[in-house]
Every structure is written in C-alpha cells, then in structure tokens.
Amino acid sequence: MLRRTFLASGIALAATPVLAEQKLTLDAISRYIMKITRAKCDFAQINDDGTLSTGTLYIWRPGRMRFEYDAPEDLLVMAGGGQVAIFDGKSNISGAERYPLRRTPLNLILERDIDLGSRDMVIDHDFDGTATIVTAQDPEHPEYGHLQLKFTDNPVELRQWVVFDGQGAQTTVVLGQLELPSELPGSLFSIELEEAERRGN
C-alpha cells in the first residue's frame, strides 16, 4: 500500500493557519508552483492504519524530489531522471522499484511548465470552506486511486495532500516550515548513485 500511495503523491509546502476563505483558481496555483525551484522541509505522514511516519523532503524543480524517512522506517522515495524510484530496505535493499514520472500525479508539480488547467489528470477543482482542493487521477489507470492537493490562500500555500489508493486506503502528508536553499546536491536525486552506494560500489 505504501508503494502505491507514493506513486500518486505530491508536495506539501507549508502548514500555516488559514488566513482567508477563498477558492483559488488553477492559474493561481500553477503560478505558485512555478515559483518554487529548490526547497527543503520536514514532513509528517499519517498512514491509513493511524501510524505516523516522519522525514525530510527535498525538491529541485523541474523533475527532482526526495523523501527521506526517519528511523525506524527503512524507506526512500526519489524522483529524478524522468523516473520515480522506491527503495524499501525490507524488500529491495540495493535496487529500486522504478516507475515513469510522467505517468504519476507527481509530474503535475515537478514538470518544467505548470498549467493545471490544461491537464487531463485534474478531475476536480473544489473548495471546502477553508481550502482549495485539486483532485488528480491518471485517466488511463483510475484503478490506481487519486490524489487531493489542498491549498490555502493569502498567501497561496500547498498545505497537505491526501492519497487514496486503489483499495480505498487513505494517507495524509503535511509538511513543516519550508526552507528555500540556494543550492542542493545533485546526488540527492540520482537514482543510479543511490543504487551504487547501496551495493557498496
């Protein structure tokens, strides 16, 4: 379930109080995401069984992201080189399970030019009274589940995402204070380098 969940996951870029109740347009959300280049923040993940996982998220747009889980989780999720890779220390110690980035909703926020209004993965754009909710789903594989990105206004912030997998399991991810470093090591996003290090090469 965790693997399927992260194939449909996105980015949460702050957890701050709601300052206004206004539905954001897809254009406004697209402009917000486009302004993000490099970022780093802590995250907390509430799993479907109620357990909590934590870690650190690194972003380098376009196309790169890294989820480092804290112990006791032995899990690493990376996006780079047009692929999403999942390193699970319990089942694939040296190699990663790989999936094309362009076939996951992650690509909605990691691609170079963001225009959510023109993407066929966006199947709903709603407002719940406190947050704008953008729902994304692979139109060719709806059985994979769907992703909800929740944004607040004034200023525009992506506060969390909620993932529903094909079996109905729900996972929520919320992030802490966003840092905007001027540089990040490219090695953080190299799937091949991570595999080589795990093999001891």
6 has pLDDT over 90: no
Taking only the tens place, the pLDDT of each residue in 178-187 is 788 999 999 9
> Is the bond preceding 62 in cis, omega lying within 30 degrees of 0?
yes
Model pTM score: 0.80
Taking only the tens place, the pLDDT of each residue in 8-26 is 454 444 444 444 468 999 9
**Domain CATH code at residue 145:** 2.50.20.10
Taking only the tens place, the pLDDT of each residue in 37-75 is 999 999 999 999 999 999 999 999 999 999 999 999 989
Residue 201 falls inside a structural domain: no
What is the count of structural domains for the chain? 1
Q: Helices (DSSP H) in the chain: which residue ranges?
A: 2-7, 26-34, 107-110, 191-199
Report the C-alpha gap between 126 and 197 in whole angstroms: 44
Taking only the tens place, the pLDDT of each residue in 95-144 is 789 989 887 777 878 989 888 888 788 999 999 998 999 998 877 778 87
Neighbouring CB atoms inside 10 A of 28's CB total 15
Q: What is the pLDDT of residue 13?
A: 45
Helix (H, G, I), strand (E, B) or coil at 118: helix
Per DSSP bridges, beta strands 145-152 and 97-100 are unpaired
Domain range for 24 is: 2-196
Residue 128 falls inside a structural domain: yes
| Token pair recorded at residue 77 | 């999720």
Report the C-alpha gap between 37 and 28 in whole angstroms: 17
